[in-house]
Amino acid sequence: MSWDAYIDVRGSRYSVPAQLAGHSVQIRLTLDGNLTIYDGEQVVASHRVVPGEPGWVTVPSHHAALWAQTLAVEQRPLAVYEEVGS
């Protein structure tokens, strides 16, 4: 699986829980279009396969921790900026 917590199946990308980014997972793709993703014996995600053109399927809760880290803003006292400006 890729660093961004998606797997590629038939040209489309499907989200998996962020803690599995970079790990190997197993998938089961059924004839009726269901994709199930396993970490060992445990089901960690399931998606309906996107027919047609490639696309992205994301479950927001899969990436909530990644977004929280990305959107964190460092807060500094204004004195830090005043030193830079002088």
pLDDT of 2 higher than 70: no
> With helix as H, strand as E and coil as C, how does 37-58 read?
EEECCEEEEEEECCCCCCCEEC
Pairing, β 34-39 against β 56-57: unpaired
Mapped onto helix, strand or coil, the DSSP state of residue 14 is strand
Domain ranges of the chain: 6-85
Are the beta carbons of 53 and 30 closer than 8 angstroms? no
d(CA 68, CA 55): 24
Residue 45 has pLDDT above 90, yes or no: yes
User: Using one digit for the tens of pLDDT, what is the confidence trace for 55-85?
Assistant: 888 888 887 777 766 666 777 788 877 776 6
First-residue to last-residue Cα distance in the chain: 48
Of residues 6 and 65, more confidence is placed in: 6
pTM: 0.70
